Amino acid sequence: MPELPEVETIKNELEPFVVGRKITGVKLLWPGMVSRPSPDEFVSRLRSRNIAGISRRGKYLILGLSGGDALVMHLRMTGTLLVNPNSSPPSAYTRAVFHLDDGTEVYFQDLRKLGKLWLVEDARAVVGKLGPEPLDDAFTPDVLKQLLNARTAPIKAILVDQSVIAGIGNMYADEALFEARIHPLRPAGSLNQEEMERLHRAIRRILLAAIGDKGASVLNYFRPGGMPGMAHVQFKVAHRRGQPCPACGATIQRIPVRNRGSYFCPRCQQ
């Protein structure tokens, strides 16, 4: 969290504020968030650079800069980007502030200090090992079958493995598995063709619907303007332990899968 729909929403809503603007300064309040290069070099190299574009890869946000460099951001569990937040003084959780030439300020806030920043010549140095994008046209049921074939790990663990498929995290994996009626502990390679096609459809539908709802504000996620997303209102199982399943009325359960909490319906997902 944030996952693909939240980062896609941030990208879409941040774009009109930052693309075409010049970075006039960066204030690092938590230098430890900079992975590459050194914090001092990070700040000096960003100054006076124009932001040429913004994109997303998996859960990473990528700002293309004049001169060819890329500013790569990962919000991790509790990070969010806010444009000109109203809090004065800034929140105690503000870790970096990016000042732009028109007076816009972009605040990187992060409760747990887990977010990361990279300034690299090529974004592939950071995101190059990610798996395919689940919303790309090239991500077909056959591709999913190839990714899962012969894997003995639980399907939930495979879905959240970013080297297999980029961008899916706990919430949307749980929702997709519920819609496809697949238990999170099923060995990934045991799915038959029908189940594979159901899961493929569920992944894409769940992610697209969540983007339409501007992401899910179940923890610390807010959109750049400070508004919450509403995708969590549509959740059927995620974060609903102890509540009745909307399909059959059974009690939603939560179990650990490779140290990740996983929500499912024991009746619909046998």
Q: What is the CA radius of gyration of the chain?
A: 20
> Is 3 a catalytic site residue?
yes
Write the DSSP assignment of the chain as a string of letters: ---HHHHHHHHHHHHHHHTT-BEEEEEES-GGGEEES-HHHHHHHHTT-BEEEEEEETTEEEEEETTS-EEEEE-TTTEEEEES-S-SSPPTTEEEEEEETTS-EEEEEETTS--EEEEES-THHHHTT----TTSTT--HHHHHHHHTT--SBHHHHHT-TTTSSS--HHHHHHHHHHHT--TTSBGGG--HHHHHHHHHHHHHHHHHHHHTT-B-SSS---TTSPPPBGGGG-SSTT-TTSBPTTT-PBPEEEEETTEEEEE-TTTT-
In the annotation, is 175 catalytic? no
Catalytic site residue from 2, 134, 154, 224: 2
Of 57, 59, 116, 198, which residue is the catalytic one? 59
Please give the Cα distance from 56 to 207 (Å, whole number): 14
Task: Single out the catalytic residue among 22, 45, 258, 260.
Answer: 260
Query: Catalytic residue at 6?
Result: no
Kindly name the residue from 3, 6, 175, 179 that is annotated as catalytic. 3
Q: CA 100, CA 94: separation in Å to the nearest integer?
A: 17
Question: Nearest-CA neighbor of 30 among 108, 130, 104, 84?
Answer: 108
* Residue 2 known to be catalytic: yes
Residues designated catalytic: 2-3, 59, 260
